Amino acid sequence: MWKHLVETGFLGTDRKQIQKDQLPEQLLNQLEKVDEQDKENHFLTLLSFAQYYNESGEVAKKYEGEVLAEYMEEKRFEIPHSMQLIFSRINNLDTSFTKTKLIHLWLDLIIKKEQVVGYPLFKDLIKFGERKGVEIKDKITKVLSRNTLKACMQFHQVNNNWIATPISEEGWYTGKMAERKSYLEYLLGQDIPKAIALLEEAWPQETLNNKVSLLNTIFEKPSESLVPFLEKLYDNEYQFSETEKEKQREGRAILSKILLMFPSSKLSQETLQQLVPCFTKRALISKLKWKLNFPKEQSDGFWNEKSMLQKYGLDINGFMPHNHSTKEEGWMAYFIQYIPFQAFADALNTKEEHIINCLFDSKELQQKIKYADGVESMFINELTHKVRFYQAQSSVKLVQAFIERRNHNDYELKDILFSLQPDEIEELIVKNNIYRTSINIMCNYSSEVPDLNFSYSLSKKLLQKIQRKSEDWRYGVSTDQLGLILSKDILGELEIINKKVESMTLAKDMSHDAKEEDLQTWKNKIYIPIKEVIEIRTLLEEEEELVTE
């Protein structure tokens, strides 16, 4: 209707007549009282009626689908009133991320209790899930009664896309590549021997494209147990050939990166033999123990384009990193990114931190920082990538090196800090006194923060740091995300700090309005959001304890 009216308005009623078959019956009945000869007045009146009609809401359309009237008996009980109240508190939170995180916990508890969400709460729950991912949608379908779910699907409030496809062995044999990759990823984390057996069985029948997809899945979740299977592929099917297809080169490139990660592989050992001569010991008086010397390109041997293509699948046209000026730098950067530092250290009979210090601090390897003052290692991108994506290789020592040299950049620090285990994260925050930085990261990049549960002592320290600079949050984001991370036992300390802020604010030498603004910043941006989330977490844990009892 609106499209037709807009077109008529642009062209004019003389050039385009109103097509009555485009209008609802209710509008036509009203237009009978208006003179059609006065086209302009007739059209303007129609627009007024149409606007009123649109704002009032269309008349309900007659449902012409199949009516599923059969009632299904529901054996599960409805959630208690206490759980309904918890949902209301969660739904009133400011931050979408925090709200979603707590709804996940709330749904998990209902599923564990084998209960259902009744009317009218299920309508709010479905509305909440409409713009969320399939994981939360799937959980919502599990807490609806059988009849509610049937009705919601009948009236298209919920569809099959809300229900997650279960990961199963059947999906490996009959599903699409996405399902097969999901099942392989699951096996790589739970049952590697079975993963190898399925790969060996299916591999001869797979297309080149499928093989690359499966290798990429292994690359995302590598394991040393896979080395024999991968070496067999590398030595046979993916050996270089002058007539090879691009997907074969791509497959060899993926295989090489995986094999380089494991010092037990033949490729890693052969590569290290070529890299060891590039490192030379420095003078005893030097703080750094080692110096990296770039090799010169050889017409024959290891350091040339042909060798890199044949052994590692490196196509020079698509490989050269933008931040390296020579091929030799680019090749060395590649090896630094994928070979573990401990493997370098073992080959050189030295310590891992000596290799890290060499790559970070050698004067010969420094370059100007882009868009900022100072210098940094020319391998900074590879070092960052190493920590972010290869957590099995990233050591506390490497992350410590980053914190010491790069803690001015929150965006970069979040990627490397959160690559560690929770207890290691807490240890590094305390050791390096990066409380403020950690607070900024956890509030500004909340969706990238892993599940953490800080100790009481660290939680107290973080709260104290926030309180001392509470005015900084006047125009900043809410701190309710911190309520997910701080110890639940910190509520008492939070109340003490709140009373302290109230008394300190009243004692300040400033106008009443300024005092009120400072106090409201503390209350609305820090105290209330953190307190509310911690209280919700506590209530959920109390409900869970009732289940176990």
Residue 319's pLDDT is what? Answer: 60
Buried b (16+ CB within 10 A) or exposed e, 478-487: bbbbbbbbbb
437-446, 509-518, 528-537: which is most confident: 528-537
- Least confident piece of the model among 27-36, 129-138, 458-467: 27-36
Listed residue (313, 363, 361) closest to 338, CA to CA? 313
pLDDT of amino acid 166: 80
- Average of pLDDT values for 396-407? 78
Quick one: how far is CA 132 from the chain centroid? 14
Confidence at residue 380, expressed as pLDDT on a 0 to 100 scale: 86
Cα–Cα dist 415/219, whole Å: 19
pLDDT for 546 equals 77
- Enumerate the β-bridge partners of residue 385: none
Average pLDDT over residues 480-496: 95
Q: What are the tens digits of pLDDT across the range 107-126?
A: 999 999 999 999 999 999 99
Q: How far are the Cα atoms of 129, 194, 198, 273 from residue 183, in angstroms, in the given order?
A: 26, 11, 11, 37
d(CA 548, CA 142): 20
pLDDT at 317 over 80: no
DSSP-assigned letter for residue 453:
-
Distances (CA, A) of 30 to 37, 44, 52, 53, 61: 16, 13, 12, 11, 20
Strands (E), 206-365: 279-281, 290-292
Where are the chain's structural domains? 2-56, 77-162, 467-549
Cβ-based neighbours of 472, under 8 Å, separated by 6 or more: none
Q: Is the bond into 120 cis (omega within 30 degrees of 0)?
A: yes
Model pLDDT, residue 326: 86
DSSP-assigned beta bridge partners for residue 78? 116
Q: Is the pLDDT of residue 392 over 60?
A: no
Q: Name 511's Cβ contacts closer than 8 Å, sequence gap at least 6.
A: none
Distance of alpha carbon 519 from its chain centroid, rounded? 35
pLDDT for 137: 94
Place of tokens 């269309």: 58
For all residues of the chain together, what is the average pLDDT?
Answer: 87
Query: What pLDDT does residue 65 have?
Result: 62
Report pLDDT for 265: 97
User: According to the model, what pLDDT value does residue 407 have?
Assistant: 44
- Coil, strand or helix: which one is 499? helix
Q: What is the largest CA-CA distance in the chain?
A: 103
- Cα(523)–Cα(309) distance, rounded to whole angstroms? 61
Say how far apart CA 185 and CA 195 lie, in whole Å: 9
**Residue 66 confidence (pLDDT):** 64
β-strands 115-116, 77-78: how paired? parallel
Is the pLDDT assigned to residue 64 strictly greater than 90? no
Number of Cβ within 10 Å of residue 248's Cβ equals: 19
Q: What is the pTM of this model?
A: 0.78
More confident residue, 405 or 328: 328
DSSP 525: I
Please state, in angstroms and rounded to a whole number, the distance separating the CA atoms of residues 113 and 93: 25
What is the Cα–Cα distance from 442 to 434, expressed in whole angstroms?
Answer: 12
User: How far, CA to CA in Å, does 522 sit from each of 95, 406, 497?
Assistant: 17, 30, 10
> Residue 46 — φ and ψ, nearest 5°?
-60, -40
- Higher-pLDDT residue of 26 and 97 is 97
Residue 149 has pLDDT above 80, yes or no: yes
Q: Please, are residues 192 and 103 in contact by the beta-carbon 8 Å criterion?
A: no
- The alpha-helical segments, DSSP class H, found in 362-487 are 380-389, 396-406, 410-417, 422-432, 435-444, 456-468
For residue 394, pLDDT over 60 is answered with no
Query: Given the DSSP bridges, would you call strands 290-292 and 375-377 parallel, antiparallel or unpaired?
Result: unpaired
- pLDDT at residue 109 in the model: 96
pLDDT above 90: percentage of residues in the chain: 55
Residues 330-380 pLDDT 10s: 999 999 999 999 999 999 999 999 999 999 999 999 988 777 778 888 998
Q: Which amino acid is at 225?
A: S
Higher-confidence residue of 445 and 394: namely: 445
Contact yes or no for 364/379 (Cβ under 8 A): no
Enter the tokens of residue 511. Answer: 């106008």
Strands (E), 164-268: none
- Exposure letters 332-363 (e unless 16+ CB within 10 A, then b): bbbbbbbbbbebbbebbebebbbbbbbbbebe
- The DSSP call for residue 244 is -
What Å distances lie between residue 230 and 147, 178, 185, 481, CA to CA? Answer: 50, 22, 16, 42
pLDDT for position 471:
81
